[in-house]
Amino acid sequence: MTRTCGFDPASVEFARGHFIGGQVVEDATDHLSVARPSDLIPYADLPIGTADTVDRAVTAARQALSSSGWATQSPRERVRAMRRWADLVESHQEELGRLEALGSTRPISQVIASDVAGVAEAIRFFSEWADKLGGDVAATRSNDLGMIVSEPYGVVGAITPWNFPLSMASWKAAPALAAGNAIVLKPSELTPFSTVRLAQLAVQAGIPPGIFNVVQGTGAVTGDAITRHPGIAKISFTGSTRTGTAIMTAAAESGIKPVILELGGKSPQVVFADADLERAADCIAGSLLANAGQACVAGSRLIVERSAEAALVGLLQRKLSNIVPGHTWNASTDYAPIVSEIQARRIDRILQQSRDQGAEFVMGGQRIEGYGGAWYQPTLLTNVTAATAAVREEIFGPVLTIQAFDTEEEAYALADHPEYGLAAGVYTRDLGRAMRAMRAIQAGTVWINRYTRTMDFILPTGGYKRSGIGKDLGRQAVEQNLRHKTVLIDIGADQAAR
């Protein structure tokens, strides 16, 4: 059942340490003060895990793998334990929801209806793969038997961003665990605490202590130590392209580890004049307002056929005016704060730079004052080119640039971003054109006459170009948590045939 109760942020209790070997551990000498995005008031100190803390977590993970049978028992046991975990997430939806809403940009009503519900479903989805991906028997000549055997990596390292902390943690942990791995996960230092509760529920569900470990800390110290630890066999990262580059370099320098990178985006929304404009405006506005644009797949570049531009922009102005900003712990809030003052200043900078380059503001462009934290007005920018900062850079705020086109070819050229290729939206009633657009656009996901994911977790997500390598979600996410051993056996079939 969906609950939308507001709550007192001071009433929320949570563990402040790392979670290693099934225990909350507070062994850090250095701490970081963590603030609530809604009012920027510090509410807890976060221990900064060192290379020693990471080593302790990796040791706990290895011991758990060797003593618990997580990877070696019947895979159905993993299915059962993970299902119990998903059930516990659901039965703790209010507690998890409050913790997430307290420490992140996600309004409580949305956390409970969408994020926590999605986490439970993602865990269930991945649990179901645990006994279904064993490998293949290969086509060989008859006196040999060739097999490709799937095996878990052992200890997987994961590093997650701040924009959807619980969802991102579940997208990393659930496929890794379903495949028989243990995980050492570092959440963002801006939104660290809900992930520990998720891991505690895993242990409560019967997943052996040490299989899901959380090490808290900063990227430069703790994240780097995870990436470089020799006992971690693979890294799965979600975050910015800049950090993804550093992680790929560190993984190469420290032992050639495979890396899965889910990185930034600057996704186009291509609207043809024959589209259902009301529907297109709903989808585009929805994408911009979701987490106030702080989503990797935010459709932040509108590319619209010139004859439909005025009508569509009018619709968008109306739909983007309907927002309810407020603290994330108020039940009525539907519009998220910007995560930090640093991030708000980044939006200020890109907008100022765009203004200096000639961009004109159709609406927005200012902060919304009065709540303590930083909120940004939904912002529409016109008179922009491919060189304008707001068109070029990932903003991670509620900013939509508008560019008009006259021909299909021009639309696809504008849609193409020199760096990013995460997602795209296409709106048209012409099936042939929709398919041509799908082929022409360089992106890991193309949504047609809709925008954003559903709970069909069978559909993977991931980027082209510098938006990333590999996939989260889908069968692919489990396969990426398995490595493949080739076996060739001489079975002497020739002799038997003689």
Active site residues: 262
Asked if residue 236 lies in contact with residue 157, where contact means CB atoms within 8 angstroms, the answer is: yes
d(CA 195, CA 218): 15
Q: Phi, psi at residue 277, to the nearest 5°?
A: -70, -35
For ligand NAD, the closer of residues 247 and 303 by Cβ is 247
Query: Of 201 and 473, which CB lies nearer to ligand NAD in the complex structure?
Result: 473
CB of 268 to ligand NAD, least distance (A): 15
In DSSP terms, 304 is beta-bridged to: 271, 404
Residues that bind ligand NAD (CB under 6 A): 159-163, 186, 188-189, 218-220, 223-224, 227, 238-240, 243, 246-247, 262-265, 296, 394, 396, 422, 461, 463, 468, 472
Amino acid at residue number 486: T
Of 115 and 189, the one with the shorter C-beta distance to ligand NAD is 189
For 215, residues 6+ apart whose C-beta sits below 8 A from its C-beta are: 18, 20, 49, 53, 54, 57, 184, 185, 186, 222, 226
Q: Minimum distance from CB of 227 to ligand NAD (Å)?
A: 5
CB of 135 to ligand NAD, least distance (A): 28
Within its chain, how far is the Cα of 381 from the centroid?
27
Nearer to ligand NAD, 342 or 493 (CB): 342
DSSP bridge partners of 31? 47
Q: Which is nearer to ligand NAD, 119 or 304 (CB)?
A: 119
- Phi/psi of residue 408, nearest 5 degrees: -60, -40
Quick one: CA dihedral 22, 213, 123, 455, positive or negative?
Answer: positive
For tokens 């479903």, what's the residue? 121
* Closest distance of CB 461 from ligand NAD, Å: 6
Q: Considering only CA atoms, which of 169, 60, 59, 153 is closest in space to residue 120?
A: 169
What is the C-alpha separation between 159 and 216, in angstroms, rounded? 10
383/452 with CB nearer ligand NAD: 452
- Minimum gap (Å) between residue 460 Cβ and ligand NAD: 10
Token output for 93? 């939806």
CA atoms within 13 A on the CB side of 225: 20
Contacts with 410 (C-beta within 8 Å, 6 or more apart), sequence order = none
Q: Least distance to ligand NAD from the beta carbon of 328, Å?
A: 17
